[in-house]
Amino acid sequence: MATYAQPRRLLAAPRLPALRHLGPNWYATVMGTAIVANAGAALPFAVPGLRPVLTVVWGLSAVLLGALLLARAGHWAYHRDQAGAHLLDPDVAPFYGCLAMALLSVGGATVAVGRDIVGLGAAVAAGAVLWGVGTAVALAVAVAIPYLMVVRHRVVPGSASPVWLLAVVAPMVSAALGPQIVPRLPEGQWREAMLLACYAMFGLSLLATLLMLPLIFGRLVHGGPLPLALTPTLFLVLGPLGQSVTAVNSLAEVAPGAIGAPYADALGAFAVLYGVPVMGFALLWLVLAAAMVVRAARNGMGFAMTWWAFTFPVGTCVTGAAGLARHTGLDALGWLSAGLYATLVLAWAVAGLRTLRGLVSGALLGAPAAPRPVRARTT
């Protein structure tokens, strides 16, 4: 019997230790990469030589998605205790929304850009599958994480974080990418049902966001700036704003083929009447968040995975501004989308290079350090 005791202990020992601290936040790398392809394809004007580059970026996002799905499966298989701890941590659990958005954004990029490689039929089929799975995950997370926050998490009063938005913004991504599928469904009931389902998810995510935004801003006003490492998460507020503008404009484009008058015309008008004010607020928040990041940088903010917050949320503003440009014909909105896209590409390149460096050194796979607090809110 003693002969077999040692092998049994070895089998019971934790395996793949590098995966122990690989949390769901890593899906932000997939989202941030795929949005570069999606946003580039949505620009309201052609850029010579851009399309092949977008195809390469889409391929990279697909590879990243596959690798992370395998790595996260290993995390759950060999470090189930840590995975369970993530679900019970109010600062980590909302990141499960990133899984849904990673699936959705890669699926959207497959239809928008990947069709140049795999063909339209295969791209639409793959995009539809990823949309369906991503939407199922998005809706599950939008219910499960708020439920856990109420009944299991111990949330300290005044600790609201922009990260909370990740739990409810994914259905908005489904609403924004659903229009890729609407025209390919049978006419009549199928198209109308899909269109209205996307509007329902738009409303679900928007109203949940409106519940959380006052808590987030109240925490900033009463509690002062976020810890330095968490300051980039202020950009997450741009996600539901830009994505909602993208959603209403994309849905309005397919509405005439899915729903009869007068609703199709009304939805076209709603896209502009809703989109312009919300885009204005998104730009206001962008400037405010950028100012807070500059302040944090001057106080010693170093690189962290939170830097990926500079990518996907900004990309949603690109697609939102591009959608408004298509509907209004306003050149200024087209230039706005181009300027935001340049910012997105720069942020993606910096975050990607710093992440690659952290992976090579092993620094990003260790146990997370406690956020460095801000000493005084007046400095």
More confidently predicted of 201 and 5: 201
Residue 7 lies in a domain: no
More confidently predicted of 365 and 131: 131
Q: What is the pLDDT of residues 139-157, one digit of tens each?
A: 999 999 999 999 988 888 8
pLDDT of 138 above 90: yes
Residue 3 lies in a domain: no
The stretch 175-194 carries a mean pLDDT of 95
Residue 11 lies in a domain: no
Burial of 362 (0-12, 13-18, 19+ CB in 10 A): exposed
Residue 1 lies in a domain: no
Q: What is the pLDDT of residues 248-282, one digit of tens each?
A: 999 999 999 999 889 999 999 999 999 999 999 99
Residue 132 lies in a domain: yes
Q: What is the CATH number of the domain that holds 65?
A: 1.50.10.150
- Tokens 């204005």 sit at which residue? 280
Residue 23 lies in a domain: yes
Residue 379 lies in a domain: no
The stretch 293-320 carries a mean pLDDT of 96
Residues 118-154 as b or e (16 or more Cβ within 10 Å = b): eeeeebbebbbebbeebbebbbebbeebbebbeeebe
Pick from 99, 228, 219: which is nearest to 166 by CA? 99
pLDDT of 92 above 70: yes
CB of 252 closer than 8 Å to CB of 267: yes
Percent of the chain with pLDDT over 70: 92
Q: Report the range of poorest mean pLDDT among 27-41, 92-106, 180-194, 362-376.
A: 362-376
Query: Containing domain of residue 259, as a range?
Result: 18-365
Number of domains in the chain: 1
Residue 281 lies in a domain: yes
Q: What distance in Å separates the CA atoms of residue 173 and residue 133, rounded to the nearest whole number? A: 13
